Structure 1
Amino acid sequence: MSKTRLPWIAAAASFGFFVTQLDVTIVNVALDAIGKAFDAPTAQLQWVVDAYILALAAMLLSAGAVADRAGPRRAFVAGLLLFGVASAACGLAASPLMLILSRVAQGAAGALLIPPSLALIAHAAHGDDRKRASAVGWWTAAGGVSIAAGPVLGGLLVETLGWRWVFFVNLPVCLIGAVLTLLVAPPTPAKPKVPFDIPGQAMAVAAVSLLVGGLIEGGHRGWAGAPLMALIAGVVLTGAFGLFERRAEHPAMPLGAFRERPAWTAVVVGSALNFTYYGLIFVLGLFMLRALRWSPSRAGLAFLPLTATFIVSNLASGGLVARFGARAVTTAGVLIAACGYVLTARLGAGSGLAEMLPGFALIPGGMGLAIPALTSGLLASVDKHDAGAASGALNACRQVGGAAGVAIFGALAGRDVVSGLHASALSAAALLVGAAFISAGAPRFFRPTTAG
């Protein structure tokens, strides 16, 4: 296959990441309307959001294994169609329970979009590090745009067409993505036929569900009791999963790949980036609404500057990786984001948007450089037949990191949002400095290359 088709394949793959990330944030602004429509209590409304995140995180590893065995193209198109069906079910829901269950289905379908979309890019790049890094930059930019645009688009849809359209809007996106994929992406090879590791997959799903569920409930209800027990059980089951996979004849997760420094570096640094970003965005939203007393629409619009910086840095990342290597670009991006968090820690109850902008530029700017670089470094370090499982593991860990950030930073901001913002921002900066040391110490994170 000619590499000239790679931009089109990257565009098709980006539809999947766009729609999965869009549904992380677009629903938030519709919760009030949903609550009024169903007379639903706050706990049910929280699970309209959390059920999607939980299912997405829990199913990512299994989705990667499915993508490798079925072939990335087939799995990706199936995921888009299933996501469209689940979105329609959400829009047609007649009760809170039906909506929550449909969100679970939507999250599971969303998990089937992320690993195969990255595997499509890995296959199309033919080992060309520069082209792969550039394509991953476009893919990541699509996710960054959708996360930032979600609250704005959701607000417009709720005010004009009604809350059900925050789900119906996914249907044309899924259809266009599926058609484009079938037109531009040739059939991708499936992994040699091996038995599906059902016990391993079940352990992985249970472990991630317990960890993410414990973090979500801990942020809502406090850390004692059931949330703490869920977290302990999740950690124990994660350890048991690792021991089981070492002895499995056909493991669900290519643990051999994660013995290499580039692979586990990508997981650790990626989890730290999601932990800090999702946690701080959550606290910043509370800060704007409670401390600054902004309206929801004004707060949503205030996040738009993040989108522009994400796009620029995502698209610049590929060329910088080709020139300086993934290790250098990842490390620099992490440190830039850390500087943004330090600046954010200076905000107070009298701050305005102008004082937020330096941090709002540096945080997504650094993340936009780092995430494509570390993702491309991961794909370069594993066999292409394991690309789906490896990217599934990376993104599952990132989702767990994001849920942990929201829970922990949200708890810090629970009593006083201003002091909570300061503590969260400084903690985020310190964590990223540690992540930068890990990235800088990865001697085999792939070096600068020239296009082949």
Structure 2
Amino acid sequence: MTEQTPDAARPAGSRPGGTDRRVLAPLALAQFICSFAGSNMNVMINDIGRDLDTTVQGVQLAITVFLLVMAALMIPGGKLTDRFGRKRCFLAGLALYGVGAVLSAMAPGLGVLILGNSILEGVGTALLIPPVYILTTLLFTDVTARARAFGIIMAAGGAGAAAGPLIGGLITSAISWRAAFLFQALVIALILALSRSLVDPLPPDPRRHFDIPGAILSAGGLALVVMGILAADQNLILTAALLAAGALVLAGFLHWVRTEERAGREPLLSTSLFRDRGSNLGLVTQNLQWLLLMGSSFTVAAFLQVVRGYDAIQTGLIFTAATVGLLASSLAAQHLAQRRPQRTLIMAGFTLTILGIAVLIGLVAGTPSPWAFTPGLALIGLGLGVMLTPSVNVVQSAFPEQRQGEISGLSRSVSNLGSSFGTAIAGTILVADLTKNAYAAAMTTLGVLGVLGLVAATLLPRETPKGDTSAASPHD
């Protein structure tokens, strides 16, 4: 059997048609279900709590650990694609995720739920998500086609996160919260069937070095930081100790990386990835975008259920405004990319999101009507949809395809770390005092972080990133 060259294996990214759809369908669905898993439990807080005899903090822990495992293992997951192949890692991640979903559906207690949902699904996601972005970057070389592909994938991811409460609420109310995990398993089975048409453009390199000490240090440091944030509502001394320990471990990771580079060995993460100013700022915006999305989702969902007493389906229906707004703006990514610079789109997205948070705080404080949430959530959805795709494109396009394993792992880790921070920060403020004032405090904190994202966006370079493969393919 003859081995395909990268160019021969690659469908023409700029050519619309069935090939593109067959490639994008499993990739977009994979991003959808992983994002769905991060937010659908938000509307099951009361149901899971009653069934498993746990608390809001217990459910928050399961959600945050899932996001944390993804963030901590995404960089190693990205590096493994070079050694074992992108499609192989994608399929292995799907299988592990499916097992975790089935185990979660049968969980007799919080511990098994954390094992299935937080650990197995989290590890599976860390294996399958980097290939989604690597394959998209490798298969779609034209900037317009890539913007369209990333637009579809980010729309699927954003829709999964935004529609998670609605779909999860419908399933929970109609059947049970356990059925929501069976729904995930069925989607995974569909993705596995669709993935038969996927072709890996680059051959795996089994001899590629994998930095095990670096993987342990990076994952441990990130875990300690998020655990420190989670402990803030219980013990400030413990929080300070965990944050300090996390900072020390991450400093040790950086020292290890530099030692490996000086010795001529390949580290888990090359320091050269951080020498591109546009990519660095793009990573900051990615982190804050997902922080805002998951933080606002958890805050609003917890407030509606615990303070307002809404059930899962009522809570999910309120999130429809965010889902519609995010889908509309994400699917317009190709059209917007042709007419506006990526920097402008990211700035506009943060502006709309900050405005949405302000509207949410003001209207909810002024009236008990559930409709008070609609305008703010719609603005947040529109804002996030506008900027998710250009932020990814800024980062991915700044590097040639030989480095896509590294940058995809880093990019997804940064985004999922933002999701972890969003749930941990907003959740810690909220569960400490589940009242209207705590809700306002959590949303205000998110608004301030949104302003930081807007500042980062204004600092993005105005010109096209140097590594944009639309200008010069690595094969040229």
> How far did residue 105 of structure 1 move?
1.3
For the pair 1:198 / 2:212, whether they are aligned, the reply is yes
Provide, for residues 84-135 of structure 1, a one-character-per-residue CA deviation record: whole Å limited to 9, x for no partner. 1222222234444333222211111111121110111011112x11111111
Counterpart of 1:237?
249
Measure, in 1, the Cα distance between the counterparts of 2:347 and 2:30: 28
For the pair 1:25 / 2:25, whether they are aligned, the reply is no
Provide, for residues 140-176 of structure 1, a one-character-per-residue CA deviation record: whole Å limited to 9, x for no partner. 1112222233233333333444443222212221122
Counterpart of 2:65?
51
- Report the TM-score, using the length of structure 1 for normalisation: 0.90
Counterpart of 1:446?
464
**2:362 match: secondary structure:** coil
1:222 aligned partner, one-letter code: Q
For the pair 1:277 / 2:282, whether they are aligned, the reply is no
> How far did residue 349 of structure 1 move?
5.0
Unaligned 5+ runs, structure 1 = none
- Verify the 8 A CA contact 1:10 1:139 in the aligned structure 2: yes
Measure, in 2, the Cα distance between the counterparts of 1:247 and 1:176: 44
2:252 aligned partner, one-letter code: A
Counterpart of 1:181?
195
Provide, for residues 32-80 of structure 1, a one-character-per-residue CA deviation record: whole Å limited to 9, x for no partner. 4445545456665444333322222221111111123322222112211
- Verify the 8 A CA contact 1:314 1:369 in the aligned structure 2: yes
Provide, for residues 394-432 of structure 1, a one-character-per-residue CA deviation record: whole Å limited to 9, x for no partner. 222222223323333334444363333434444433433
- Verify the 8 A CA contact 1:62 1:201 in the aligned structure 2: yes
Matches within 5 A, 1:212-231: 212-218=226-232, 221-231=233-243
- Deviates further, 36-45 or 358-367: 36-45
- Sequence identity of aligned pairs in percent? 26
Q: 1:327 aligns with which of 343, 350, 357?
A: 343
Distance verdict in 2 for CA 1:357–1:48, change over 3 Å? closer
- Report the TM-score, using the length of structure 2 for normalisation: 0.86
Distance verdict in 2 for CA 1:361–1:157, change over 3 Å? closer
The alignment yields a C-alpha RMSD, in angstroms, of 2.7
Counterpart of 1:116?
131
Q: 1:407 aligns with which of 424, 427, 441?
A: 424
Matches within 5 A, 1:72-87: 72-87=86-101
Counterpart of 1:105?
120
Q: 2:280 aligns with which of 264, 282, 294?
A: 264
Distance verdict in 2 for CA 1:260–1:216, change over 3 Å? same
Measure, in 2, the Cα distance between the counterparts of 1:327 and 1:172: 38
> How far did residue 331 of structure 1 move?
1.8
Counterpart of 2:447?
429
Matches within 5 A, 1:115-154: 115-126=130-141, 128-154=142-168
Provide, for residues 238-257 of structure 1, a one-character-per-residue CA deviation record: whole Å limited to 9, x for no partner. 12212221232201113212
> How far did residue 320 of structure 1 move?
1.8
Measure, in 1, the Cα distance between the counterparts of 2:224 and 2:446: 24
Matches within 5 A, 1:335-354: 335-347=351-363, 348-354=365-371
Measure, in 2, the Cα distance between the counterparts of 1:139 and 1:33: 31
- Verify the 8 A CA contact 1:280 1:421 in the aligned structure 2: no
- Verify the 8 A CA contact 1:254 1:390 in the aligned structure 2: no
Measure, in 1, the Cα distance between the counterparts of 2:68 and 2:342: 30
For the pair 1:360 / 2:377, whether they are aligned, the reply is yes
Measure, in 2, the Cα distance between the counterparts of 1:326 and 1:192: 37
Counterpart of 2:3?
none
1:329 aligned partner, one-letter code: L
> How far did residue 292 of structure 1 move?
4.5
